[in-house]
Amino acid sequence: MKILILGNMGYVGPLVTERLRATYPTATLIGFDTAFFASCLTDANYLPERKLDHQYFGDIRNFPDAILQGVDAVINLAAISNDPMGKRFEKITMDINYAAGIKVAKKARALGVKSFVFASSCSIYGETNSKVVETSNVNPLTAYARSKVYAEKDLRQLSNEDFKVTCLRFATACGMSPRLRLDLVLNDFVANALASKQITILSDGTPWRPLINVKDMALAIDWALNRPQSIGDFLAINVGSELWNYQIKELAEAVARVIPDAKVSVNENAPVDKRSYQVDFSLYEMLAPAHQPQCDLFSTVNDLKDGLESMKFNNPDFRDSKLMRLKVLTELQGSRQLNDDLRWSFEDQPVMSAA
């Protein structure tokens, strides 16, 4: 089996690589990434990409067809990956998350790839008053969410009996990773609790948000690669756990129970955060009983605490650090290594391969 992982050098990719190498020890695993965040290693004892057979560097907007030769399955994680970055780089978000990804999917189908797995998001539901299922109306409130909606629509049209497409609508990611991000709600709360003994909720704390540990995201991707064809040529499915539907204030309170000297503060005067949704994960529970989330909220908080402490993390100003993905991009732009279009200044060089 030959598997290509697009966007493998971010927050999720190292856990996906780890999982697939364990599940398919003799498979050929290939990575393709622009390497914006390759240097953002945190909880890593070795370079995660050493478990790949090949690592290619390049921009998905200029993806070379040759890499797809002989590939059986593609996992697309490549994305401008959160709302602040999507707001700052709205057009680029649509170009990378949507247009470029669909272009690669078309090439993959033409070249005989059998399975295409797309990392979508529950954020496409936006704001709801009831628990949403896969057939619920979508209400994307951000560029990031819109890019996922558009990509799913086009991928549905591309799917057929020879090109199985699975769109995994992930809950909000959390947990430790060899390339940790702190621009995620639970990760932010744990970092705040450790560094400043405060857990600052930037909203009024009432919005609902489902969560999933990044390890369990990798588990779901493993399932999607070889899910039964009988489920259908195209599948868009909510991925998470019924137990992980929480209000933001509940997440903060859980962190405070693990780190009891941290105090929770709520911004009662904050503008209403319309991104509030509870999600029904019963379809995933039914279709993937052997790949259900293994991590719970408190084990995830403890893993984050242990991981950050092992890093000797103590920066109360971490929201202005390289643990925030937007900060990494703006610093690369400030040093003129990336241009306004988020392309490397040396991008006209040939795509390089490291075995």
Alpha-carbon distances, residue 120 vs 66, 205, 235, 262, 265 (angstroms)? 26, 25, 11, 34, 32
Residue 148 has which token pair? 């996922």
Region for residue 272 given its phi and psi (left: phi exceeds 0; alpha: psi -120 to 50; beta: otherwise)? beta
Give the pairing type, strands 54-57 and 352-354: antiparallel
Residue 309: exposure state from Cβ atoms within 10 A (0-12, 13-18, ≥19): exposed
CA dist., res. 172 & res. 144, Å (int) = 13
CA dist., res. 165 & res. 159, Å (int) = 6
- Give Rg (Cα) of the chain: 19
Residue 10 has which token pair? 């971010």
Residue 42 has which token pair? 């945190």
Selection from 247, 232, 214, 236 nearest residue 164 by Cα: 232
Q: Are 118 and 101 in contact (CB under 8 A)?
A: yes
Low-confidence ranges of the chain (pLDDT < 70): 270, 348-355
Q: Determine the distance from the C-alpha atom of residue 351 to the mean position of all C-alpha atoms in its chain, rounded to a whole number.
A: 24
CA dist., res. 34 & res. 81, Å (int) = 14
Global confidence as pTM: 0.94
The pLDDT tens digits for 179-237 are: 999 999 999 999 999 999 999 887 788 889 999 999 999 999 999 999 998 999 999 99
Dihedral (CA of 17, 22, 27, 28) sign: positive
pLDDT at site 349: 54
Selection from 258, 278, 168 nearest residue 214 by Cα: 168
CA dist., res. 63 & res. 226, Å (int) = 25
Q: Are 28 and 71 in contact (CB under 8 A)?
A: no
Q: Are 213 and 175 in contact (CB under 8 A)?
A: yes
Residue 75 has which token pair? 């996992």
Selection from 136, 123, 328, 116 nearest residue 234 by Cα: 116
pLDDT at site 354: 47
Backbone phi, then psi, for 238, in 5-degree steps?
A: -70, 130
- Fold annotation for 2-176+211-243+274-294+325-354: Rossmann fold (3.40.50)
Residue 229: exposure state from Cβ atoms within 10 A (0-12, 13-18, ≥19): exposed
Residue 111: exposure state from Cβ atoms within 10 A (0-12, 13-18, ≥19): middle
Residue 193: exposure state from Cβ atoms within 10 A (0-12, 13-18, ≥19): buried
Selection from 288, 292, 304 nearest residue 254 by Cα: 304
Dihedral (CA of 171, 220, 45, 40) sign: negative
pLDDT at site 348: 64
Please calculate the CA angle 158-219-16 and round it to the nearest 5 degrees: 80
CA dist., res. 320 & res. 295, Å (int) = 29
Residue 144 has which token pair? 């990031």
Tokens 């991000």 correspond to what residue?
Answer: 181
Domain locations in the chain? 2-176+211-243+274-294+325-354
Facing residues of 160 across strands? 163
